[in-house]
Structure 1
Amino acid sequence: METTTRQNIISTVNDLQRIEIPKIKDARGNLAVIEKECIPFEIKRVYYLYDVPSDAFRGGHAHKTLYQFLIPVSGSFEVRVKDGCNERLITMNKPDKGLLIVPGIWREIENFSSGSVCLVLASAEFNEDDYIRDFEDYLSFKGI
Structure 2
Amino acid sequence: MEIGKLIDIPKIEERRGNLSVIEKDLVPFDIKRVYYLYDVPAGAERGGHAHKKLQQFLVALSGSFDVVLHTGAKTETITLSKPFQGLLIENETWRELKNFSSGAVCLVVASEVFEEEDYIRDFDEFRSWKNQ
TM-score (norm 1): 0.89
Gaps of 5+ in 1: 1-12
The alpha-carbon deviation at position 14 of structure 1 amounts to 2.4
Instruction: Report the RMSD for the aligned CA atoms in angstroms.
Output: 1.1
Higher helix share: 1
Between the aligned partners of 2:70 and 2:34, the Cα distance in structure 1 is 23
**Which position in structure 2 is the counterpart of 1:97?**
85
1:72-119 Cα distance to aligned partner (Å, 9 max, x none): 000000001111111111000000000000001000000000000000
Task: Determine helix, strand or coil for the equivalent of 2:88.
Answer: strand
Does residue 89 of structure 2 align to residue 120 of structure 1? no
1:40 aligns with 28
Tell whether the 8 Å contact from 2:42 to 2:100 is kept in structure 1 after alignment: yes
* Distance of 1:17 and 1:35 partners within structure 2: 17
Counterpart of 1:14 in 2: which secondary structure?
coil
Kindly provide the CA deviation profile for residues 28-78 of structure 1, in whole angstroms up to 9, marking residues without a partner as x: 110001111111111100000000012010000000000000000000000
CA distance in 1, matches of 2:71, 2:129: 11
Matched, 1:65 2:23: no
Match of 1:79 in 2: 67
Tell me, yes or no, if the aligned pair for 2:3 and 2:71 is still in contact at 8 Å. no
5+ residue gaps, structure 2, are none
Q: Give yes or no for contact 2:3–2:76 (8 Å, CA) kept in 1.
A: no
The aligned counterpart of 1:29 is 17
- Partner of 2:2, secondary structure, is helix
Figure out how many residues of one structure are paired with residues of the other and give that number: 132
- Paired amino acid for 1:118: C
Aligned residues with identical type, % of pairs: 58
Secondary structure in 1 matching 2:128: helix
Aligned counterparts of 1:86 and 1:35: Cα–Cα separation in 2? 31
